[in-house]
Amino acid sequence: MTDCLFCRIVAGEIPATVVIDEPELIAIRDVNPQAPTHVLVLPKEHIESAAELSAEHRDLWAAILAAAQHVAQADGIDRDGYRLVANIGRAGGQTVQHLHLHVLGGRQMTWPPG
């Protein structure tokens, strides 16, 4: 999708700080971090949101979660804790209509998140 920011990043049209690049997914540092560690894990395939996932995406979703765990370990936030966030739809706070999982950590998270 040529108008999708994340598809353009995956295609190499827009630069990003890549921390993981696997055949089915990519993990990038957020350009507007909300915590010391703020990484987005997203599939290379355009899927609008987690609401679009089906049983056929089970392995992809597992790979996304494994990548998030790897990011947490690599950044050293796994010991103290971190937050995984998947915003779904505009009312859920999703601003880019491409499935992505936020990995946030390196500071105390508060609740409710907002």
Q: Which helix (H) or strand (E) holds 41?
A: strand 37-43
Q: Which residues are catalytic?
A: 100
For 62, phi and psi rounded to 5 degrees? Answer: -65, -40
Read off the tokens for 29.
């540092």
What is the C-alpha to C-alpha distance for residues 80 and 106, in angstroms, rounded to an integer?
Answer: 8
